[in-house]
Amino acid sequence: MNRGWHFYQNPGPTNIPERVLRAMDRGNIDFTGAAFKAIAEECFAGLKRVFKTDRTILAYPATGHGAWEAALVNLFSPGDKVLVLESGFFSLNWGLRGAAFGLEVETLPNDWRTAIEPGKLEDWLRDDREHAIKAVLAVHCETSTGVVNDIAALRRAIDAARHPALFLVDTISSLASMDFRMDEWGVDVVVAGSQKGLMLPTGMAFTAASSRALAASAEAKLPRVYWDWRRLIEGSSQSFWNGTAPVHLFYGLQEALRMLEEEGLDQVFARHHRLAEATRRAVQAWRRNDGPEIFASDPRARSDSVTAVLMPEGHNADALRQLCLDRFNVSLGGGLDRLRGRVMRIGHLGDLNEPTILGAIAAVEMALELGGVPHGRGGVQAAMEYLVSDAVIG
């Protein structure tokens, strides 16, 4: 059934606002010329405000996987040891890519339902007396589980262990949806993508690098050409790109950054929190009668950009998602890896407001009823009550 508005509630890519679509609806310009340079400069200045950094930001036509790879090949040499903080599918995948490049990958194991405990990281690093670990790799918001890690606390743990490892953070599903502070939190490398909080089409990826990271990249021995930060920073005879610049994504980025600044970043984060909490209230209502539950078990570590919902035993999340799509034109994210069929993921990031999330929740609640999944009723009501409560309205 594809009548009416397509509710696209995946946790990325996200809805592209009309303003961004219209901004991209124009012809090409020379990416080596002054007009594009002015747009790019405005975009990089705006990105620095979103990353909360004064450091270097680099962009590539790529997805997040490309920015992951760029960070690895620019920072390390074959045999270097890195520590992956396990949070779910994405954290482990970043590590697998490191292993494919010949890095020695250690994994700090963690239950996928809770945030990484900073104390465990501190202990792990204290045990590394020789300082063999070159970098700690963490995911801010683990999109596969809806668990968010406390990046500032993890930084404090690295400092408490007096360990020199670089700190690399994936902000692919948190940037521009949840507060992130690269410089204040002492992050050396930030990996981000265009298609989530930045509300753009998929296809551009970003890396911000501290001066320590840039110094490490001068020593790194892994082969790199397309991803080489030095080529991007120094520029070639033509431009600061390793190829043709994605001009249309920059048209869109310029508009998206203007939208974020018009609303105000703090208001953007508050909106994401409000809509995430409304979603959580709905799931908590469904939880009665042994219904679905929020996968992230610790309320303090629940993401404001995505809620993973664990289905009751014997009920398939993909069947429920299909019902939502077929009957109500609502698209939700599926479970990844070991969570396939067990969780559905409701994305609440990017360009959305109260009616959007209420519509999506209503569709899920109807699908639970139609699909014969045990649940408590009144999820939509609970979300509405929260959205007009004193906690929200003041």
Q: Residues in the site for ligand PLP, rule: CB under 6 A? A: 12, 63-65, 90, 139, 143, 170, 172-173, 193
Question: What's at 64, amino acid-wise?
Answer: G
Nearer to ligand PLP, 122 or 150 (CB): 150
Nearer to ligand PLP, 44 or 68 (CB): 68
Q: How far is the CB of 13 from ligand PLP (least distance, A)?
A: 8
Q: How far is the CB of 143 from ligand PLP (least distance, A)?
A: 3
Q: Name, in order, each residue with C-beta under 8 angstroms of 18's C-beta and a sequence gap of 6 or more.
A: none
Burial class (CB in 10 A: 0-12, 13-18, 19+), 84: buried
CB atoms within 10 A of CB 222: 18
**Is residue 69 helix, strand or coil?**
helix
Q: How far is the CB of 62 from ligand PLP (least distance, A)?
A: 8
Question: What's at 250, amino acid-wise?
Answer: F
Nearer to ligand PLP, 90 or 286 (CB): 90
Distances (CA, A) of 286 to 289, 296, 376, 381: 8, 15, 4, 11
Burial class (CB in 10 A: 0-12, 13-18, 19+), 45: exposed
Q: How far is the CB of 349 from ligand PLP (least distance, A)?
A: 10
Nearer to ligand PLP, 69 or 117 (CB): 69
Q: How far is the CB of 12 from ligand PLP (least distance, A)?
A: 5
Q: How far is the CB of 350 from ligand PLP (least distance, A)?
A: 13
Residue nearest ligand PLP by beta-carbon distance: 64
Nearer to ligand PLP, 74 or 177 (CB): 177
Nearer to ligand PLP, 291 or 347 (CB): 347
Q: Is the C-alpha dihedral spanning 293, 297, 298, 300 positive or negative?
A: negative
